[in-house]
Amino acid sequence: MKQEKIGVYTYRNKPTSMIKFLKIVDYMKTCFKTYRKQVTEMINNQKLIVLMFGIIMALLLVVIGSYILFKQKTNADTANIANVNDVLTIDYTNIDSAVASVLKTMPEIKAEIKEIKSTMNKKNMSYSVNNTRIEDVPIEELFSVKKRQFRLEVENRLANKKSDDNTEAIAEEFTNNYLEAISIAKEVYGVTVSQEEITKYIENNIAPIVVKEKEAYAKALGLTLNELDYAFDRDIYVMDTLWKKLYPVLFEKYPQQNGEDDNAYLERIKKEFYSHKKR
């Protein structure tokens, strides 16, 4: 699906129990249709399908990644976004200048982009990270405080907001929370993801979807769409791949109680999962 216009978008941020980014409605609808088909084929229990649709909508807010950016605020206990009521206006017509100005201050990101471009194999979408082929890179090493900070700084410029002195601390907390979620999934629930699974997830769910904002972001970075999806934004899709495998396990371990509201059930599952978080 293609969007025909890049412009100025204004969104009101709404409370959520999952990590959120700003969304473009048409793009989200496309992602949702893709996920709905996969979930319907995978799960025969109709009630569980309905329940998973609500979760998937939250997870897709992570799927859309760094080219749809959002002012992120953290909660130290649950790694969730705090409730916000402010309106953010994101002007994607300024994406080139926003990315360029941030890249000037972050040589680490420029170096990453250079390595992606010089090592990407167009046939199998493999590339190198610090001179190591992606297939051999531990999942945890895909997460970078600098990458998270880069996305925050770009968002600030797109929203015409002054750079937040706290962006590095916010980025570090988000990164640590992601790593802890990966650790909990592995140590407590026995759920892990491989680089091959992430590549397959991107191939089936991300790469086929093209919107003008995504194209503009890739161009501003000096990357192709495949380089953006399979490499630069790969860390985002680690979490999507993980949650896709993890939720069926959580549903089985913590079944919904008779008369339990769906929202209350999701909240209980979240609390059960994060109860294993190290203090």
Total number of domains in the chain: 1
> What's the rounded mean pLDDT across residues 201-211?
95
The rounded distance, in Å, linking the Cα atoms of 65 and 113 is: 17
Query: Cα–Cα distances in Å, from 220 out to 31, 103, 189?
Result: 23, 10, 40
Stated as kind and residue range, the H or E segment containing 12 is strand 8-12
Residue 234 placed within a domain:
yes
Q: Which domain holds residue 235?
A: 8-274
The answer, yes or no, to whether residue 44 has pLDDT greater than 80, is no
99 with 221: CB under 8 angstroms? Answer: yes
Residue 1 placed within a domain:
no
Mean of all residue pLDDT scores within the chain = 75
132 with 172: CB under 8 angstroms? Answer: no
Q: Report the pLDDT value the prediction gives residue 262, as an integer from 0 to 100.
A: 93
Question: What is the crossing angle of helices 234-253 and 167-189, to 10°?
Answer: 40
The answer, yes or no, to whether residue 9 has pLDDT greater than 90, is no
Q: Report the pLDDT value the prediction gives residue 251, as an integer from 0 to 100.
A: 94
Q: Report the pLDDT value the prediction gives residue 88, as an integer from 0 to 100.
A: 52
Residue 115 placed within a domain:
yes
Phi, then psi, of 86 in degrees rounded to 5: -75, 155
Residue 151 placed within a domain:
yes
Q: Report the pLDDT value the prediction gives residue 277, as an integer from 0 to 100.
A: 84
The answer, yes or no, to whether residue 80 has pLDDT greater than 70, is no
Instruction: Classify residue 163 as left (phi > 0), alpha (psi -120 to 50) or beta.
Output: beta
Residue 186 placed within a domain:
yes
> What's the rounded mean pLDDT across residues 135-147?
95
Per-residue pLDDT of 231-246, as tens digits, reads 999 999 999 999 999 9
The answer, yes or no, to whether residue 48 has pLDDT greater than 80, is no
Q: Report the pLDDT value the prediction gives residue 164, as an integer from 0 to 100.
A: 65
> What's the rounded mean pLDDT across residues 33-49?
41
Residue 243 placed within a domain:
yes
Residue 150 placed within a domain:
yes
Residue 2 placed within a domain:
no
